[in-house]
């Protein structure tokens, strides 16, 4: 299943209008019981996700793989599938860069593992999408970073992403190659350029779509 991720900056007040039908997080976390569709095991989680009248969280279908036919170059395809609002803002389109990969990047840049993404807007579960907000400290760090600092951040992130937790399965089988410093920098560079375009009260967001 493809995961499309788009980084963009805008005013927080613009989001609700730009994504009609999406919902803001609840003011306070609530406890909800979830049933694992694979094991039928029940777990209770604290979440700020709003409820949807037409959705039973324990009866959602398991996402299936799909094949998409692409005409033209891939970068153009990523741009064209992005919502018009996001296209109108400073943005960068990527693929498969979720909070799982980006939280270690935030930690590498800020030196703190306590920096977490906040969900800014929830889409209906049927859409398989969501918008998360990057920590302000991370954006500020990248805005002021010169080339040498970006290289150091890339090295730290590459080392973390090359650890067994990210490259091996639970059984110890390697499923992912180590990340090189150049690969890390190819991601950090565009994000840093986007951070430098942030103005005044704008925030940086991550739009994730399955």
76 sits in which H/E element: helix 74-81
Q: Mean pLDDT score of the chain, rounded to an integer? A: 89
DSSP assigned state of 12: G
- What is the pLDDT, as a whole number, of residue 69? 42
Span 19-31, average pLDDT: 94
**Separation of alpha carbons 177 and 87, rounded Å:** 32
> Do 2 and 203 contact (CB within 8 A), yes or no?
no
134 exposure class (CB count in 10 Å sphere: 0-12, 13-18, 19+): buried
What are the beta bridge partners of residue 10? 203
Residue range 11-23, pLDDT digits in tens: 999 999 999 999 9
Rg of the chain over all Cα atoms, to the nearest angstrom: 18
Residue range 50-102, pLDDT digits in tens: 999 876 654 544 444 444 444 556 778 888 889 999 999 999 999 889 999 99
- What is the pLDDT, as a whole number, of residue 165? 92
- What is the pLDDT, as a whole number, of residue 63? 44
């Amino acid at each position: 299943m493809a995961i499309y991720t788009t980084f963009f900056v805008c005013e927080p007040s613009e989001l609700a209008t730009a994504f009609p039908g999406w919902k803001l997080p609840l003011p306070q976390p609530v406890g909800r019981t979830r049933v694992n569709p694979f094991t039928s095991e029940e777990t209770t989680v604290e979440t700020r996700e709003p409820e949807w009248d037409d959705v039973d969280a324990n009866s959602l279908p398991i996402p299936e793989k799909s094949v998409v036919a692409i005409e033209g170059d891939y970068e153009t395809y990523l741009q064209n599938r992005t919502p018009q609002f996001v296209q109108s803002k400073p943005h960068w389109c990527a693929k498969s860069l979720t909070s799982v990969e980006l939280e270690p990047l935030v930690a590498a840049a800020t030196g703190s593992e306590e920096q977490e993404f906040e969900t800014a807007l929830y889409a209906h579960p049927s859409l398989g999408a969501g918008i998360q907000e990057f920590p302000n400290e991370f954006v500020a760090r990248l805005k002021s970073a010169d080339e040498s600092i970006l290289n150091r951040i890339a090295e730290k992130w590459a080392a973390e992403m090359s650890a067994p937790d990210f490259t091996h399965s639970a059984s110890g089988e390697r499923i992912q190659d180590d990340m090189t410093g150049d690969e890390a920098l190819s991601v950090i560079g565009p994000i840093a350029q986007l951070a430098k375009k942030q103005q005044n009260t704008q925030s940086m967001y991550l739009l994730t779509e399955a």
